[in-house]
Amino acid sequence: MPLSRSSTLSFPPIVAALLFILFTTSSSQDVSYSNCNRTFSCGSLHNITYPFTGGDRPDYCGPPDFRLNCRDNYTELTANSITYRVLQINQSEKTLTLARLDLWNNICPQTFVNSTLNSTIFNTDVGNVDLTLIYGCSSVMNYTPQNLFSCNVSGVNSTDAFYLTGPVPSDPIMSFIECHVSIVTPVLGDAGVRLTSNRSTLEEVLMQGFNVNYSDPYDNQCSQCIESGGQCGFDSSSGQAVCICVDRPCPASPPASSPVGIPAAGNGVVRNNVPLTVGLGIAGAAVFGIGLGWCIFSCRQRRKRLAAQTVSKDLPTPPSSKGLSLTTPRTNFSQSIPSYPSLSSKNSDLEKGSTYFGVQVFSYTELEEATDNFNPSRELGDGGFGTVYFGKLHDDRIVAVKRLYENNFKRVEQFMNEVEILTRLRHPNLVTLYGCTSKRSRELLLVYEYIPNGTVADHLHGKRANSGLLSWPVRLSIAIETADALAFLHASDVIHRDVKTNNILLENDFRVKVADFGLSHKSDVYSFGVVLIELISSKQAVDTNRHRHDINLANMAVNKIQNHTLHELVDPTLGFETNSSVRRMTTLVAELAFRCLQQEKDVRPSMEEVLKALKEIKNEESSVQKAEVVDIMADDVGLLKVTSPPMSPDSAGTEKWVSSSTTPNSSG
């Protein structure tokens, strides 16, 4: 029976040993392989052995990819025309730490080449993050990003250059900048974090290098050679590994001692009384016989597997699986979203999970691999009730994987709540749920589309705040799209319950994706009022560094409006004082936010009314008289039934904010 393309044949160790004997005996018996018992030492590196060569170890003592050079007491390795400084070698763990020599204490190289290593031998995926250096840039924006540096590029007038960590599309700067050339090189994940938080310089991060896991492509043959008492080497003429006895290729003999008197390696005897052709004939016959037997065994096993699959396909399909596709080659679709067991017999609502279907069910192992074992360097941020990680699936989809903090009842309920909402509702401004783990998984995990441009909070007062890209028109569009998503949810009898700028994600073109549904009984309208104030002011919802009366941004905003000092609240970069159109629109939005922040729920507008008002503001359909009303005279404020600064329905006052590290909470 012919084997399918996906089928593989793996031979037992004895077959590998016999094959190794064949190719080693085919090498020239007259070639000398001396001094392979020596080690390589240079600077801080000592006693380096196979597979590495260099220094006192001749080139034939290991594969060419592992050739080292000692220069000025530093070890170097050259791969694909790039020379790296070898900072560390751990042969027991089979790891290296490399740093590019052309970027050593230098951020302006002569040539612009990406760091590329032979991926079949060297793996750079563990513990690293990509660092992109972009040169010869010209910007149409009048601002200076914090990741800007200067470097001359031959033939290019501009000396502006940028560095970016992680996937390049995640930085909105590149949408407004034209550049000529770039370099991509891995750096240590924690070093990348220090760089983005301004705790390390670009030069320091590059000189710390990156991690590399290496593997010897001839490891199996080498192990057999060592077991037979030989040393591993490499025959450059044949491009194959060679087993060395003293200083010659080992004779054609079994790995162990021979019954016909072939001595073990080391005693200098390299011939025996059995003709070489007889030995080759016996070995060849043995290989053929074992190979044929193994092939027959594999074919029989494959028939059994096919028979089992045929039986499983004939089994009846449960009713809940109707309409689901089972065509994805790498991952399987669940017949329904798994029903996680109730943590309390009284909470039977969790068992409704068995009726949730339409999204893919992932294995824990697949998501663990996709996130590099939930590597801290891949953390994207806090996802409401779990940590979110950057991931890449087997089918090359880039995703965000949310990992629940703990599997208690509330977390499971929140998990089920989000699955139910996102599988039932679709909206262009709601994040797309790709799938989740099954009830048999070690942890509860959700898989979303990856939104590359961070959160609104990042751009207003976080790590992207200095980009200068959130102009007033962009902010107003963010407000409208967020309101559109919330109005859609409310029309579908769904309350988000955790509206805040940390949960409003942005695409590269600043389109909104609302994420992270909550369970607490917060008012979406009130919380959206806080979001509007953040968009106007670029201030955090909660900041203990402010005056105690202003720790809560909602209180601060109401006080500024009541005291006719709105200009003190508005972000000065928006042009409130110089642009009459911006002044009118921000004033109108401030009035709308004021209405949303009323303590009495019945006084607040609905999300549909909020959306309509924002669209009118953007289309400049509201009258000048309305703008004058929003100038907020004392009499007008009285009409809003506010006798004291409004507070969030679930807020007990500003005294509870006692730590400067408190995460901003848009509920006020």
The tokens for 622 are 């509201």
pLDDT of residue 660: 31
Please enumerate in sequence order all residues whose Cβ is within 8 A of that of 359, keeping only pairs 6 or more positions apart, or say none. Answer: 334, 337, 419, 422, 423, 433, 434, 435, 436
Check residue 182 and give its pLDDT.
Answer: 86
Q: What is the C-alpha to C-alpha distance for residues 537 and 152, in angstroms, rounded to an integer?
A: 38
* pLDDT, position 329: 30
Contact (Cβ atoms closer than 8 angstroms) between residue 94 and residue 213: yes
The lowest-confidence range among 345-359, 457-471, 489-503, 620-634 is 345-359
CB atoms within 10 A of CB 249: 23
Contact 291, 301 (CB under 8 A): no
Tokens of 234: 């490499």
Is pLDDT of 397 > 80?
yes
Percentage above 70 pLDDT, the chain: 67
Asked if 74 and 55 touch (Cβ cutoff 8 Å), the reply is: no
Q: For residue 169, say if its preceding peptide bond is cis, omega within 30 degrees of 0.
A: no
Of the candidates 82, 162, 155, 157, the one whose C-alpha atom is nearest the C-alpha of residue 122 is 82
Higher-confidence position of 646 and 209: 209
pLDDT(649) > 60: no
Domains and CATH numbers, the chain: 64-214 (no CATH), 348-449 (3.30.200.20), 456-656 (1.10.510.10)
Least confident of 51-60, 328-337, 486-495: 328-337
Distances (CA, A) of 234 to 36, 67, 153, 365: 10, 12, 42, 38
pLDDT band at 411 (very low <50, low <70, confident <90, very high): low
Strands 128-139 and 181-188: antiparallel
Scanning 314-451, the segments in alpha helix (DSSP H) are 364-370, 409-424
What whole-number distance in Å separates Cα of residue 401 and Cα of residue 336? 20
The yes-or-no verdict on residue 631 having pLDDT over 50 is yes
Higher pLDDT, 77 or 335: 77
Paired strand residues for 585 = none
pLDDT reading at 525 higher than 60 = yes
At residue 267, what are phi and psi to the nearest 5 degrees?
-100, 5
Asked which of 269-278, 474-483, 500-509, 552-561 is least confident by mean pLDDT, the reply is 269-278
Mean pLDDT score of the chain:
74
Output the pLDDT for position 14: 52
Is residue 219 annotated as part of the catalytic site, yes or no? no
| Section 269-285 average pLDDT | 50
pLDDT at position 213 is: 93
- Answer yes or no: is pLDDT of 503 > 60: yes
Report the pLDDT averaged over residues 457-467.
Answer: 87
- The 10s digit of each residue's pLDDT in 119-157 is 889 999 888 888 988 888 776 545 456 678 888 777 666
Check residues 531 and 355 and name the one with the higher pLDDT. Answer: 531
Sign of the Cα torsion 646, 649, 653, 656 reads negative
| Separation between Cα atoms, residue 644 and residue 653, nearest integer Å | 12
Contacts of 532 (CB under 8 A, 6+ apart): 479, 589, 590, 592, 593, 596
The pair of three-digit structure tokens given for residue 266, joined into one six-digit string: 């080391």
- Could you list the beta-strand ranges (E) of 365-457: 379-382, 386-392, 398-404, 433-437, 445-449
pTM for this entry: 0.45
Q: What is the pLDDT of residue 332?
A: 31
Q: Determine the pLDDT at residue 32.
A: 82
Question: In this structure, are residues 537 and 562 in contact, taking their beta carbons and an 8 Å threshold?
Answer: no
**SS3 for 138-178, per residue?**
EECCCCCCCCEEECCCCCCCCCEEEEEECCHHHCHHHHCEE
Q: Is the pLDDT of residue 225 over 80?
A: yes
How far, in Å, CA of 449 to CA of 506, rounded? 12
From the list 479, 540, 467, the residue with the least C-alpha distance to 504 is 479
Res 49: pLDDT: 92
pLDDT at 296 over 80: no
Question: Which pLDDT belongs to residue 406?
Answer: 64
Q: Judge residue 444's burial from the number of C-beta atoms within 10 Å of its C-beta, 0-12 exposed, 13-18 middle, 19 or more buried.
A: buried
pLDDT bracket for residue 537 (50, 70, 90): very high
Average pLDDT over residues 277-302: 65
Q: What does the pLDDT look like over 344-376, one tens digit per residue?
A: 333 333 333 333 346 788 888 999 999 999 999
234-256 average pLDDT score: 76
Q: How many residues does the chain have?
A: 668
User: What is each CA distance from 356 to 306, 359, 416, 541, 596, in whole angstroms?
Assistant: 31, 9, 9, 35, 34
176-189 average pLDDT score? 82
Kindly give the interhelix angle for 524-537 and 472-491, rounded to the nearest 10 degrees. Answer: 170
What pLDDT was estimated at residue 356?
Answer: 37
For the record, the structure tokens of 277 come out as 């052709």
pLDDT at 523 over 80: yes
Ligand-binding annotation for 402, yes or no, is yes
Band (pLDDT 50/70/90 cuts) for residue 574 is very high
Range 289-325 burial, b when 16+ CB lie within 10 A, else e: eebeeeeeebeeeeeeeeeeeeeeeeeeeeeeeeeee
CA dihedral 628, 631, 635, 640 (to 10 degrees): 100
Catalytic option among 498, 524, 543, 571: 498
